[in-house]
Structure 1
């Protein structure tokens, strides 16, 4: 048995209907739901990301899907950049 941590990817899913957006929980882990701005922030399996994003975009209540850019951000702040 391997204790490997699964790579996960954060997604912001902009929705038209918040009630229908609850069904996104079957695809990944819902982390936050904004009622005012009508979006859901969720995590999905990073290895199947492209397949899952296409599946989410086809849902009738989804207006757009944005990937999290957290991996691209610099997290080392104590060293000056060249």
Structure 2
């Protein structure tokens, strides 16, 4: 029995109405909701990302959808040089 971890993609979904934003839970996993700035941090399935983003953008309460840039960051840093 093998178990694979699903590839996830983080999104920042800017919304007009926070109550309506709860319906985003049907599309993915809600990680954080900012009441002051009115956005939702959401994780979706990476394999279906394009299809799900189009579906989210069509929702009446959504103003903007931003993809996470985490994968584009470099996580390997050069070895520090010794001082002195």
**TM-score normalised according to structure 1 size:** 0.93
Residue by residue, what CA displacement relative to the aligned partner does 1:49-77 show, whole Å, maximum 9, x if unpaired? 00000000000000000000000001112
Distance 2:59 2:15 in 1: 10
5+ long unaligned stretches in structure 1: none
5+ long unaligned stretches in structure 2: none
**TM-score normalised according to structure 2 size:** 0.91
Distance 2:42 2:5 in 1: 17
Let me know the Cα RMSD of the aligned residues: 1.1
Runs of 4+ in 1 over 2 A off after TM superposition: 77-80
Q: What residue is the counterpart of 2:75 in the other structure?
A: 75
Larger Rg: 2
Matched pairs, number: 80
Distance 2:22 2:78 in 1: 41
